[in-house]
Amino acid sequence: MIPINKPLIGLDEIRAVAKVLRSEILTQKGGFGPNVVEFERLFSKYVGTKYALALNSGTSALHAALLAAGIGEQDEVIMPSFTFVAAAEMVALTGAKPIFIDINPRTYCIDPNEIEIAITNRTKAIIPVHLYGLTAEMDAIMEIARRYNLIVIEDAAQAHGAEFHGEKAGKLGDMACFSFYGTKNMTTGEGGMVTTDNSEYADAIRSIRNHGERREYNSIRIGHNYRMPEMAAALGRPQLLKLPKFLALRRRNAGIYLDKLSNLKELQLPTVPEGYEHSWYVFTIRLLRANSAKRNKAVRKIRQRYIDSQVYYSMPIHWLSYYRQTYGSIKLPKTETASRQVFSLPVQPGVSEKKILYVVNVLKKIFS
């Protein structure tokens, strides 16, 4: 099976983790171990922000960012429904209400035209999700946010290395949250990061990730144990150094798909608007004029040929039982149509050019 994603771990990562084990410093109070501190320094330099705060998962990063922004009871947070559930979970856990809006059907990211319609006197933040490795329309989103005094928290879990008009994902909003889960463009096994230029947010997240402490055994706020272990940070350092190479291979693979599949009229290929740099977490195709049954049948045919095709996301968040029962039924037609038609292909750097061409030939046989 050609995997949709897999971690690429080499000797550099193995040696880095072994060095931590030999040092016997596996974690450090406050999350300030030497590997964590250096990983944060390297990541902030890469993204171009003043601060990068390491945490133990991307979900923790989202929760800590929301708490640092003061999101809580009676607040509303605008976000897309066409994404993984983590951001909505974290909004709900603060006591706030996620307000789901529709997407741009070409990019699959949140539609800025829908944001202003959803704003109320309770709206406090927007979470644009950079889906599949493409950034949301951040200039329009930030203009709306500034006009209404809203906080913008980028969900960049799938967008390591993506760019919007020359600025990297992670530097486009007030804060941004990354995941280093094992399938991501770079990994620490599990792990997360919040990037920001705001010193108050950075100080709050340092406290939140360590039980709300400012000094040892002196908690000034509600916090959690969201510290990143030293082994994870040690793994992340060589992964970050390899990220440009990983991205170059992803872009090569995506370029082959875009070139070789362009004549298949039944398929809508991904769009990369002018001024955007896609990081190609996955290569997502839409099967036009299809329902979910037809799409699922096509995915089964692809998988039968040993290609790990997946559907992200067949169930948008507003369809999930908890969110429907808690917040009521809503209609998001562009999101719902996409959920019935999209499927994703492997584009990760471990897939050779020869294997990408094999995938191309399989799709041509199925869809010609």
Please state the pTM of the whole predicted model: 0.96
Q: Is the pLDDT of residue 31 over 90?
A: no
Domain ranges of the chain: 11-238, 243-367
Tell me the per-residue pLDDT of 99-152, one tens digit each, with 9 for 90 and over.
999 999 999 999 999 999 999 999 999 999 999 999 999 999 999 999 999 999
Q: Is 184 a catalytic residue?
A: yes
The b-or-e profile of 229-257 (16+ CB within 10 A means b, else e) is bbbbbbbbbbbbebbeebbebbbebbebb
Tell me the per-residue pLDDT of 186-229, one tens digit each, with 9 for 90 and over.
999 999 999 999 999 999 999 999 998 887 777 878 899 999 99
Task: Tell me the percentage of the chain whose pLDDT exceeds 70.
Answer: 100
pLDDT the model gives residue 218: 79
132 and 169 in contact (C-beta within 8 Å)?
A: no
pLDDT the model gives residue 32: 84
Name 331's Cβ contacts closer than 8 Å, sequence gap at least 6.
none
79 and 152 in contact (C-beta within 8 Å)?
A: no
pLDDT the model gives residue 27: 86
CA atoms within 13 A on the CB side of 136: 34
pLDDT the model gives residue 25: 86
Q: Looking at 124, 184, 354, 364, which residue is catalytic?
A: 184
pLDDT the model gives residue 173: 98
Find, among 246, 125, 88, 135, the residue nearest to 180 by Cα: 246
Rounded mean pLDDT of 56-80?
A: 98
Q: Judge if the upstream peptide bond of residue 313 is cis by omega within 30 degrees of 0.
A: yes
Fold of 11-238: Aspartate Aminotransferase; domain 2 (3.40.640)
pLDDT the model gives residue 77: 98
CA distance 72 to 52: 23
Q: Is the pLDDT of residue 163 over 80?
A: yes
Three-state SS for 51? Answer: strand
Which tokens in the block code for residue 290?
Answer: 């299809």
Of the options 3.40.50.2000, 2.120.10.70, 3.90.1150.10, 3.40.50.1980, the CATH number for the domain spanning 243-367: 3.90.1150.10
State the Cα angle at 130 between 129 and 133, rounded to 5°: 150
Tell me the per-residue pLDDT of 235-274, one tens digit each, with 9 for 90 and over.
999 999 999 999 999 999 999 999 999 999 999 999 999 9
Average pLDDT, the chain: 96
Strand segments (E) across the chain: 51-55, 76-80, 97-101, 123-126, 151-155, 163-164, 167-168, 175-179, 192-196, 213-215, 218-219, 267-268, 276-277, 283-287, 342-345
Tell me the per-residue pLDDT of 307-354, one tens digit each, with 9 for 90 and over.
999 999 999 999 999 999 999 999 999 999 999 999 999 999 999 999
| Residue 350: count of CB within 10 angstroms of its CB | 15
Q: Which residues pair with 125 in a beta bridge?
A: 77, 151
185 and 203 in contact (C-beta within 8 Å)?
A: no
